[in-house]
Amino acid sequence: METAFAIPIRRTTKSRLDQTRFDRLAFGKEPTDHLFISEFAGNEWRDPRIEPFHDLRLSPFALALHYGQTVFEGMKAFRMEDGRISIFRPDKHHERFNRSLERMCMPAVPSEIFLQALHELVDLDRDWAPTQPEGALYLRPFMFASEARLGVKVADEYIFMIVATPVAQYYANPLRVKVELEYVRAAEGGTGYAKCGGNYGAAFYPTQQARAEGFDQVLWTDSRHHEFIEESGTMNAMFIIDDTLITPLLTPTLLDGVTRDSILTLARQRGMATEERSISWKELQAALRGGKRVEAFGAGTAAVVAPIEWIQIGSEGFGCYTNDDAVMYSFKRELHAIRTGSQPDIHGWNYVV
């Protein structure tokens, strides 16, 4: 890549790479050696730089701690078969990041800063990209309001950062989920389509309740009727019924998932029937009661494809199809092949560092 501008880099004097157990990775616990950081003040981004990973010094008055102006993205970089490193669909992640920032009244990050920072950070810490089949280098761009002031206002100062961590498979086993019929993740007119911290914090309580009942996640339903499936935890929800891939239509309450979009693209490329529409839990229940082969799975950057083996709807539970020949696994394999270079990337999704 032709360098857009030079980002100053201060390298660590002592790498932790040789102390990291790549065969025992816990998701999101082990940072790489470096991070990217830039501050927004005076209506401009200042001093973009890469430094050794370190803790932050932050005023207790920082507005993000009190009023929730914080937005993040989740991305992955992969080690390709030829040894190069590829970041998956950074342009689409950048577009979504800026949409989230706009909803939270936060300044946009120019594409040249976003992409160059990713490029330089991944290139510098490329040895942290795992070689294991399920491994990846997880990238977390995020921004928060850093202005030190108590008072309900849109901040004038922000910090934008990117950190990275080597990760293994997010979910090791198929999931058991319950359809959530009381609590909601997002309401129309709210921030459901934005990757802001409050959406996730508000989801913890019902998710913890579901886990206490023996489930791994919930299938959220709409706030108005508690009938139409929306998302599942950190993932978009997808179903294969009668050889048709069905996923909820994107609305302002749903996150525009990059993996969701990628799977829909691959399905249409195969000539598979796809439907983006409202899907009621009653329709899902009827298909399961009727003995149809139903594949249910979550699609997301962290999980990629997370099979759902059990769906609880009220007092009634149903098993879903998770055998080895399930179609959902073929999407996961194809995505992996594209990301690692063993299958041609005809859509231009890979950004090779």
How buried is residue 189: exposed, middle or buried, by Cβ count under 10 Å (0-12/13-18/19+)? exposed
- Mean pLDDT for 14-36 is 93
pLDDT score for 214: 97
**CA–CA separation, 161 vs 251, rounded Å?**
28
pLDDT score for 86: 97
**CA–CA separation, 50 vs 161, rounded Å?**
9
pTM of the model: 0.95
How many residues does this entry show for the chain?
353
- Mean pLDDT for 239-254 is 96
pLDDT score for 233: 83
Q: What angle do CA 346, 347, 353 make, to 5 degrees?
A: 90
pLDDT score for 1: 41
Domains of the chain are 17-169 (3.30.470.10), 175-340 (3.20.10.10)
* Average pLDDT over the chain, rounded to an integer: 95
**What's the pLDDT tens digit per position in 76-114?**
999 999 999 999 999 999 999 999 999 999 999 999 999
Backbone phi, psi, residue 124, to 5°: -65, -40
Identity of residue 268: R
**CA–CA separation, 35 vs 53, rounded Å?**
5
Q: For residue 288, what pLDDT band results from cuts at 50, 70 and 90? A: very high
Quote the strand ranges of the chain, DSSP E. 34-41, 44-52, 70-72, 75-79, 85-88, 136-145, 158-167, 175-179, 217-219, 231-232, 235-241, 244-247, 273-276, 294-300, 304-313, 316-319, 350-352
- Residue 2 pLDDT > 60, yes or no? no
Q: Bigger pLDDT: 238 or 168?
A: 238
Rg for the chain (alpha carbons), in Å?
A: 21
- Mean pLDDT for 148-168 is 97
pLDDT score for 4: 64
How buried is residue 55: exposed, middle or buried, by Cβ count under 10 Å (0-12/13-18/19+)? exposed
